[in-house]
Structure 1
Amino acid sequence: MTLYQRPLTPAGSPEAAPDETGRMFQMITGYWATQIARTAAELRLAEHLGQGPRTAAELARAAALDPAATRRFLRGCDALGLVTTEDGERYAATPLLDTLRADRPGSLRDLALWGGMTSHWQPWGLLPDAVRTGRAQSEAVFGEDLFTYFAAHEEEGTRFAAAMSAMTRGVADDLADVITLRGDETVMDVGGAAGAFVQTLMARHPALRGAVLELPHLAKAAEESTAAAGLSERFTFVAGDFLDVVPPADVYLLKYVLHDWDDETAVRILRNCRAGLRPGGRVLVTELVIDPEESRGLPPLMDLNMLTLSNGGRERERAEFAELFEAAGLRLVGVTPSASLVSVVEGVAA
């Protein structure tokens, strides 16, 4: 049987692949699903269909799209379960598409936009070179490392920060469930984007003071987000670079930060936190922790993402975190799993 005589299903299809050939076909076509989800998010398809089913022509008029291309796109969305077809003409949103609504709690819209943007998928296209050389491919694509690129391209940098905030919102409550606080500390979210994580802790502890240390271009997003949560009176945005200095605090949050960096830079960040750590304070690193005896699931794949995007960035094992902490003058006191895949790696002054 030749390839196209098989009952093949593309990546993202609700139907399971029938065999190994089908599974491989899904892997090969995976980027189709990524870009369809990204396009649905960018065109706000969920919002357009939120008031009820529409024909392709109606949607094209409402969103200023090409009518013929819109019909073809909607058929593709139907194939992936994002929409359903009514009477062969009208398209309705499914619960899957509704996860991309911007106004939905836990919305995945920002993640979909980030996953399909150039600065993410182009370096992945050079994964063979990353495996050959051990070096991230962002510089090969953009001529500079990823974070320098984001600083120079504010729109993409802001979109990246929004995606990180969306990822945080997806796990913040689970992490907060396993973080014990007195409730009157100053907690600094180091590299915390718009501050979604520290805002979750502030909402749970009315006397807690929160801060975000981030690059200046994220000040507006952080302040607007905190104001929307009604937490502005207890919040401070600190414009700065955690590679230079970290202001004093009782508790530091490092969420998805260390995995962006090589060991030397990670130790530098931790040392800056150690220098600012108040007596009795703690450093809480929240990341995926690789189990050396388990190679399935998200952590090994996220580790490849870091290999591709960030020179020296990686997901780490518990023992590797312990080594980083020791080199920075800290002592690892525990790794606490949460209900999500993200764990809390806790350190104190050595």
Structure 2
Amino acid sequence: MPNPSQQIMRLGFGFAVSQALRVIIELGIPDLLAVGEQSVDELAAATQSDADALYRVMRLLAPEGVVREVLPRHFELTEVGAVLRSDQSGPRDFVRMINSEAYLAFEQLMHSVRTGKPAFDKVFGSPRFDWLSAHPEQAALFQRAMVALGQGSNEAVADACDFKPFTRIVDVGGGHGQLLSAILARNPHLDGVLFDLPSGVAAARQGAGGDLPRTEFVAGNFFESVPTGDVYVIKKVIHDWDDRRAAVILQNCRKAMLPNGKVFVAETLVPPGDEPNQIKGIDVVMLAVTGGLERTQTQYESLFDAAGLRLQRVIQTRGSISILEASAA
């Protein structure tokens, strides 16, 4: 059992594991090991790397269960590491994305703690989403990372919501369209609107998130307006923004919503207590990178009130994500 100092030291070295994952993904190590165990010398030759340096990175990841050292300086891929292969729709793109510009911004977390403002703006000179709009390659990686991060949760949301009373669904900030695709597949009576910035709409048009029949693609700014519909889904968007800007998004949905319409906000709620939960880590990343936050149910209730909406119920899905169902106040 590690003593308190050892536990703190392990936490402090968390950045090393995170960056080591990015390195082996960028080098294609999981793909090379997919055919079977190989020596570090073979891996280094295939990736034009220094064998001793690569060994030290692999040795770091072995205790984390990503690879296994089966013989001295010979490694095989584990079941955990296999999700990093390029033929898997797992978290590899998320690891690459979070360990690039977001990682650099997080080094300035103290700025966010002292000011309450995102460190990303200080480091890169513009807000996160403005920066992505000016960097298409990183924006494309971001979209792929969101596909990976949304695995399972889109289906969970599509299954948990009752869309039978509605005819026109607007996916606000729908990005790649994975959620809307799942909803339309289950509800053939619905017409869809995929609403996002141009980069998100482009990804959806190209089929990044699946088939989108009966869908109108609309590029725009949800701080200005949103398309008309009788039901709105907003998944993992509100958490990107502070209360003032999040309320504007919801207010615009309220203004455009047809009579008897609904707004479904899909987010992971911050639970009470001290138990470990990934959402608490994501919350601090939001602080540094976008200026947004993860919220408790009580915080969402206040946010809906500010937007002219009323929280009617919270729908629990089979995953960690919840759906907050709201109507006009």
Match of 1:128 in 2: 110
How many residue pairs get aligned? The number is: 328
Match of 1:328 in 2: 307
User: Helix, strand or coil for the counterpart of 1:99?
Assistant: helix
1:68 to partner: Cα distance: 3.8
Aligned counterparts, 1:9-158, within 5 A: 18-105=2-89, 107-117=90-100, 119-158=101-140
1:40 to partner: Cα distance: 2.0
1:269 to partner: Cα distance: 0.6
Alignment partners' CA distance in 2, 1:236 and 1:61: 49
Alignment partners' CA distance in 1, 2:113 and 2:225: 33
Aligned counterparts, 1:300-339, within 5 A: 300-311=280-291, 313-339=292-318
Alignment partners' CA distance in 2, 1:144 and 1:244: 20
Alignment partners' CA distance in 1, 2:126 and 2:184: 36
Match of 1:258 in 2: 238
1:295 to partner: Cα distance: 4.1
- % identical aligned pairs: 32
Alignment partners' CA distance in 2, 1:290 and 1:87: 44
1:93 to partner: Cα distance: 0.8
Deviations 1:102-122 (A, max 9, x none): 3225x11111112211x2112
User: 1:186 and 1:159, CA in 2 relative to 1: closer, same or farther beyond 3 A?
Assistant: same
Higher mean C-alpha displacement, 152-161 vs 262-271: 152-161
Q: Which amino acid aligns with 2:234?
A: L
User: Helix, strand or coil for the counterpart of 1:182?
Assistant: coil
Alignment partners' CA distance in 2, 1:180 and 1:202: 12
Q: Which amino acid aligns with 1:176?
A: A
1:89 to partner: Cα distance: 4.3
Runs of 5+ consecutive residues of structure 2 not aligned to the other structure? none
CA RMSD of aligned residues (A): 2.2
- State TM-score, norm by structure 2: 0.91
Q: Which amino acid aligns with 1:112?
A: V
Q: Which amino acid aligns with 1:110?
A: D
User: 1:233 and 1:183, CA in 2 relative to 1: closer, same or farther beyond 3 A?
Assistant: farther
Alignment partners' CA distance in 1, 2:279 and 2:55: 38
User: 1:164 and 1:346, CA in 2 relative to 1: closer, same or farther beyond 3 A?
Assistant: same
Match of 2:181 in 1: 199
Q: Which amino acid aligns with 2:187?
A: H
The answer to whether the 8 A contact 1:169-1:197 is kept is no
Alignment partners' CA distance in 2, 1:45 and 1:236: 41
The answer to whether the 8 A contact 2:181-2:212 is kept is no
Match of 1:298 in 2: 278
The answer to whether the 8 A contact 1:123-1:309 is kept is yes
Runs of 5+ consecutive residues of structure 1 not aligned to the other structure? 1-16
The answer to whether the 8 A contact 1:183-1:208 is kept is no
Higher mean C-alpha displacement, 148-157 vs 56-65: 56-65
The answer to whether the 8 A contact 1:255-1:286 is kept is yes
The answer to whether the 8 A contact 1:199-1:210 is kept is no
- State TM-score, norm by structure 1: 0.86
User: Helix, strand or coil for the counterpart of 1:281?
Assistant: strand
The answer to whether the 8 A contact 2:176-2:203 is kept is yes
User: 1:109 and 1:23, CA in 2 relative to 1: closer, same or farther beyond 3 A?
Assistant: same
